[in-house]
């Protein structure tokens, strides 16, 4: 029963991820997405778009990474990817150890290692997972013709520079999304500097 109690404590704790509001809006509403919605959406994307991964991947491992990668934001909050100066790697690592430490040792260690693997992007699964993690907010911004980029004063060049990492996991997906970002730019989706 002690094992079950720890697992349930973890489950209760991660419910907080539903309250972490991200900086991008849902496709069909003006509401901002929460971390739980984001994680669910990129897991579906991983399944649907897996044929575009550059390398052979273990899709279950990818989905595990995507389901847990933002749990650290329970402690650290969401930081917009374009403001790297606010990201505190030490705080995120501390949060990962605390949150995954709620689980029985073998599960906590597995999830922490998956989280580290995702952050380091050294495996095909981590690179593919990161590609989709970056791609979903791009699609949200593109769906709204760049509105959130304009609101947050994010220039075209920065969007390209920060998000070209999508190509590390899928060159085909990056080729497509880069073309859409360029189209958005040509149609006034970014503020002129």
Structural domains in the chain?
Answer: 2-186 (1.10.3210.10)
For residue 46, report the phi and psi dihedrals to the nearest 5 degrees: -60, -40
Q: Is the pLDDT of residue 193 over 60?
A: no
Q: What is the pLDDT of residues 172-182, one digit of tens each?
A: 999 999 999 99
Give the pLDDT band (50/70/90) at residue 17: very high
Q: What is the pLDDT of residues 129-148, one digit of tens each?
A: 999 999 999 999 999 999 98
pTM equals 0.93
Q: What is the pLDDT of residues 21-31, one digit of tens each?
A: 998 899 998 99
Half-sphere exposure of 109 (CA within 13 A, CB side): 3
| C-alpha–C-alpha distance, residues 182 and 180, integer Å | 5
Three-state SS for the chain is CHHHHHHHHHHHHHHHHHHCEEEEECCCCCCEEEHHHHHHHHHHHHHHCHHHCCCCCCHHHHHHHHHHCCCCHHHHCCCCCCCHHHCCHHHHHHHHHHHHCCCCHHHHHHHHHHHHHHHHCCCHHHHHHHHHHHHHHHHHHHHCCCHHHHHCCCCHHHHHHHHCCHHHHCHHHHHHHHHHHHHHHHCCCCCCC
User: What's the mean pLDDT when you consider all of the chain?
Assistant: 94
């Amino acid at each position: 029963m002690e094992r079950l109690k720890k697992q349930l404590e973890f489950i209760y704790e991660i419910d907080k991820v539903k309250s972490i509001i991200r900086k991008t809006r849902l496709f069909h509403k003006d509401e901002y997405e929460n971390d739980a919605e984001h994680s669910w959406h990129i897991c579906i994307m991983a399944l649907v778009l897996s044929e575009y991964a550059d390398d052979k991947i273990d899709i279950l491992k990818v989905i595990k990474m995507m389901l847990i990668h933002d749990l650290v934001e329970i402690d650290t909050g969401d930081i917009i990817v374009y403001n790297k100066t606010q990201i505190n790697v030490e705080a995120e690592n501390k949060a990962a150890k605390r949150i995954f430490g709620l689980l029985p040792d073998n599960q906590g260690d597995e999830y922490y290692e998956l989280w580290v693997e995702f952050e380091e992007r050294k495996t095909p699964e981590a690179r593919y997972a990161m590609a989709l993690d970056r791609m979903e907010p791009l699609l949200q911004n593109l769906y709204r013709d760049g509105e959130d980029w304009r609101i947050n004063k994010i220039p075209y060049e920065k969007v390209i520079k920060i998000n070209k990492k999508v190509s590390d996991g899928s060159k085909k997906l990056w080729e497509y999304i880069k073309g859409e970002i360029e189209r958005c730019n040509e149609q006034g989706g970014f503020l002129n500097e």
